[in-house]
Structure 1
Amino acid sequence: MSTQGGSTRTIAVVSAGLSTPSSTRLLADRLTAATVTALGDRGVPATVEVVELRAHARDLADDLLTGFANEPLRAAVDTVVGADAVIAVTPIFSASYSGLFKTFFDVLDTDALVGTPVLMGATAGTARHSLALEHALRPLFAYLRATVVPTAVFAASEDWAGGDRAGADGAGSPLADRVTRAAGELADLVAGRPPAAPADPFADPTTSFEDLLRGGGT
């Protein structure tokens, strides 16, 4: 595969964990580290920006009610929309993504993630919830027209036992193998695309059209 090496890519990590610390954030961190390593193996440097949705719960509710994103939420949205790839991880409740996770993607413009490579992850107390990745998350990102990697990563409580506990390397475990495979798939997509274009400064201008015609600036 040809790559667009050299230019630094930005990976946005969306974590919808509700506790601190959370297994959702732990899985997000594992996926992120593996992706950065896989990109490095392909000669592509990467930076990471994490969006913890827990910190924006009230902001998201206000946005739904008013249609207006405050500055912290706008910054989080811009981080995700402007990234070269997204790693999105949610806890599973009642066989689907969390309301907090869904609300964040509800406030994005429907065209915001078109073509963006996405790696999906989810956590739950039992493996019975694992199919939520396929019947809930994958259709969500298909609707947003993102490019989702084939391997989705689910971690139940038992997956963190033994070698997969935080602080242990976990090499060779089923969870570690899934993380490595999914990260490699995401890295292949990212390395094969040009870096994301910078945001259009005229997409949401703060200067009126009349002022621009008169040569006014911001």
Structure 2
Amino acid sequence: MTTIAVVSAGLSEPSSTRLLADRLGAATAEALSADGPVELRTVELRPLAHEITDAMLTRFAATVLAAATATVVEADAVVFVTPVFTAGMSGLAKSFLDVLDKDALTDMPVLLGATGGTARHSLALEHGIRPVFAYLRAAVVPTGVFAATEDWGSDDAGTLDARIRRAGADLAWMTRASRRQPQQADALPEVVDFASLLGGMQR
């Protein structure tokens, strides 16, 4: 069984970021289907925003966040899609990467996607997002996919479809060629609130 973690850092609901993430995951699964079963495991960061912030401040991950990080670390490949703000990934997306262990994505096949209001933001994928994953030593596929608002439902939607299929095929190839060994996320202690700690103390 090949597992693909599909990470969406979209901030709205519904989200074009989640839509792009789902389509990239599906394209990858289709490209890998001849090799055997493929499981897509979605990690939506928006509901984890508070836990991610707490983990940055305390260096402890609560239960739901720990499960999400394990989904990413233990996958065979990752699709990572973020909205673009100020020529880079969203703060939520970057914060999630910051709470991962520094070696968690080493040699991990990763497909990058991004969304933005206009094509003006498209270079952020290469200049603001890809370098972060290079620093984490991930095996990032050559084809990234940026989708502007105008790409959805326009006459050029077929062009976006073609880019998505190409990117999925790239990630499938990278997954087959991966030298990454099966990983297991380190068990992270669960956050216990201060009031509970005080409740167990004797006066």
Please, what TM-score do these two structures have when normalized by structure 1? 0.82
Deviations 1:120-179 (A, max 9, x none): 000001000000111111100000000000000000001002367xxxxx5xx1111110
Compute the RMSD of aligned alpha carbons: 1.9
Q: 1:132 and 2:117 equivalent?
A: no
Please give the secondary structure, in 2, of the residue aligned with 1:162.
coil
CA contact (8 A) 1:28 1:121 kept: yes
Deviations 1:30-71 (A, max 9, x none): 101111100014x23210111100010000110111111001
Change in Cα spacing, 1:123 to 1:65, as seen in structure 2 (3 Å) is: same
Extract unaligned runs of 5+ from structure 1: 1-7, 165-169, 207-218
* Partner residue in 2 for 1:209: none
CA contact (8 A) 1:9 1:195 kept: no
* Partner residue in 2 for 1:49: 41
1:118 to 85, 110, 119: 110
Paired letter, 1:174: T
Change in Cα spacing, 1:148 to 1:205, as seen in structure 2 (3 Å) is: closer
- Which segment is superposed worse, 44-53 or 191-200? 191-200
Please give the secondary structure, in 1, of the residue aligned with 2:103.
coil
The Cα shift of 1:20 comes to 1.0
Q: 1:85 and 2:77 equivalent?
A: yes
Q: 1:186 and 2:178 equivalent?
A: no
Q: 1:158 and 2:150 equivalent?
A: yes
Give the number of equivalent residue pairs.
189
Please, what TM-score do these two structures have when normalized by structure 2? 0.88
Measured in 2, the distance between the counterparts of 1:45 and 1:115 equals 22
CA contact (8 A) 1:81 1:112 kept: yes
* Partner residue in 2 for 1:4: none
Paired letter, 2:172: A
Paired letter, 1:108: L
The Cα shift of 1:198 comes to 5.2
Measured in 1, the distance between the counterparts of 2:178 and 2:108 equals 10
Measured in 1, the distance between the counterparts of 2:183 and 2:103 equals 16
Measured in 2, the distance between the counterparts of 1:94 and 1:15 equals 18
Q: 1:28 and 2:13 equivalent?
A: no
Please give the secondary structure, in 1, of the residue aligned with 2:143.
coil
The Cα shift of 1:189 comes to 1.3
